[in-house]
């Protein structure tokens, strides 16, 4: 649905914040993806345990 790049962990490198196109409140939950240059791969910055699609941020939790 939407993607923005920002340095959210303060390491001087931008991460990708992804808002997935999901129905209901799933569209309010975000993935925060960090690139690991040594592995040449993207990984979740801080996935929530037990979240149905591995979100890093649940915007429904106030």
**Residue 57 and residue 47: Cα distance in Å, rounded?**
8
Backbone angles phi, psi at 20, to 5 degrees: -70, 155
**Residue 51 and residue 38: Cα distance in Å, rounded?**
27
Mean pLDDT of the chain: 91
Give the mean pLDDT of 11-36: 90
Where is pLDDT greater, at 27 or 16? 16
pTM comes to 0.81
Do 13 and 7 touch, CB atoms closer than 8 A? yes
**Residue 12 and residue 29: Cα distance in Å, rounded?**
24
Q: In this structure, what token pair is assigned to residue 22?
A: 């999901």
């Amino acid at each position: 649905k939407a993607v923005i790049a920002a340095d959210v962990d303060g390491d001087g490198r931008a991460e990708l914040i992804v808002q997935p196109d999901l129905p209901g409140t799933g569209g309010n939950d975000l993935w925060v993806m960090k690139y690991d240059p040594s592995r040449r791969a993207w990984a979740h910055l801080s996935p929530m345990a037990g979240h149905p699609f591995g979100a890093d941020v649940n915007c429904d939790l106030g």
